[in-house]
């Protein structure tokens, strides 16, 4: 089982830490992707409306989840990416 969320947009990237350097990314894009993950459904990939538009243009099938409360962002229209693993019982949950 998994939870997955995807968003796209600008980020700030860099290396932090002197003793044990680590590469990381920051920004609103990252925060919204994290929220797509945390408020998603098991075994579904949840995306923002803007990302859904890009994926649709690229040939992916999406299912509108509808208005979804996203902490720190309010209510956003979100979508699920359709995959070969989706079943009617999982989709109806």
26: domain CATH number is 3.30.70.1230
Mean pLDDT of the chain: 92
Looking at residue 89, its pLDDT comes to: 52
The boundaries of the domain holding residue 48 are 4-91
Looking at residue 93, its pLDDT comes to: 52
Let me know if 73 is a catalytic residue.
no
Looking at residue 11, its pLDDT comes to: 96
Let me know if 65 is a catalytic residue.
no
Count of domains forming the chain: 1
Dist CA 34 CA 10 (whole Å): 15
pTM of the shown model: 0.83
pLDDT band at 1 (very low <50, low <70, confident <90, very high): confident
Q: Which residues contact 81 (CB under 8 A, 6 or more apart)?
A: 6, 44, 45, 46, 47, 55, 60, 61, 62
- Segment 12-46, tens digit of pLDDT: 999 999 999 999 999 999 999 999 999 999 999 99
Annotated catalytic residue, options 20, 44, 71, 93: 71
């Amino acid at each position: 089982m998994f939870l997955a969320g995807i968003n796209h947009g600008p980020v700030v990237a860099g290396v932090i830490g002197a003793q044990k350097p680590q590469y990381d990314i920051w920004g609103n894009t990252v925060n919204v992707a994290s929220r797509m993950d945390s408020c998603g459904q098991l075994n579904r990939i949840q995306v923002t409306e803007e990302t859904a538009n890009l994926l649709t243009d690229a040939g992916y099938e999406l299912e509108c989840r509808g208005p979804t409360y996203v902490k720190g962002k309010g209510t956003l229209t979100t979508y699920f990416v359709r995959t070969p693993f989706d079943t009617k019982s999982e989709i109806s949950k």
